[in-house]
Structure 1
Amino acid sequence: MADRPLVMILNGPNLNLLGTREPAIYGHDTLNAIAARSATHADTLGLTLEFRQSNHEGVLVDWMHEARARGAKALILNAGAYTHTSVALHDAIKAIELPVIELHLSNPHTREPFRHESYIGRAAKGVIAGFGAAGYLLALDAVARL
């Protein structure tokens, strides 16, 4: 499967708590369940998928650099709260020169005002928000069409 394009899905802080963390906002799916569905969908699209999560900003930056070094086709990033605060992730997106899809389970524009600002979106190729766990599959569809 080495000839299949690599796509990395990176998840930021607190996403390891999906399924139990504010399910009225983020849904009842666990991150493991989302990862399994994403892997199946990526396979049907002819993509190799790596799905990761970290609560640490620097780890996410390191993984973004790794995606570039490994020749990934694209990166899907659910940066969690770092979306609204991280210049480092913004700069990493610019540095890796890969298409990045910003992903949100909820629609940040319908939530608290501080969530309306996205450093990630300013550097991303596109944004998918508000479709819950299905957003991961939509993001993979978008990557397959790039």
Structure 2
Amino acid sequence: MARSPHLVTERDELKLEVAVGTTRRRFELSDRAENLLRDEGYGPADVVPFVTAKALVLAGGATLPEKSDERDTAWELGGADGGRQVTRTEREVLAEYLRGVTVPDRSLDALREHVRKHDLPVDPTEVTGRAEKVGGLSDIARNL
């Protein structure tokens, strides 16, 4: 039976442990992702809803030490069944997080599909990638 995604402490750092393929891997958390989890009351050994864990991986907030491709890694994630369900408040906080981060372009479509599939309270077009952000900034600069 696969163990649900959960938080662990390693060398005084909070990490997200998730099944990837046939092994369990520890993901490093960005400061923003760690703050999201801590602000929602998560700490070491707490189970993290799979919806949240996968969104963090796709958005680049939870990465493997070798910095592998977010989309490919997300496709290999396991342990979704029987885990903790995401609450309404957590869904809203996750949606706000996704609005505020710049997503790696390669995983943008997969993250938008994840948002639609799990009916997160954010319009998928509000989740933006690096190329879209740069293009938007260029448009702003041209209009000045």
Q: Give TM-score, length-normalised by structure 1.
A: 0.31
State which structure, 1 or 2, has the greater radius of gyration over its C-alpha atoms. 2
Q: Give TM-score, length-normalised by structure 2.
A: 0.31
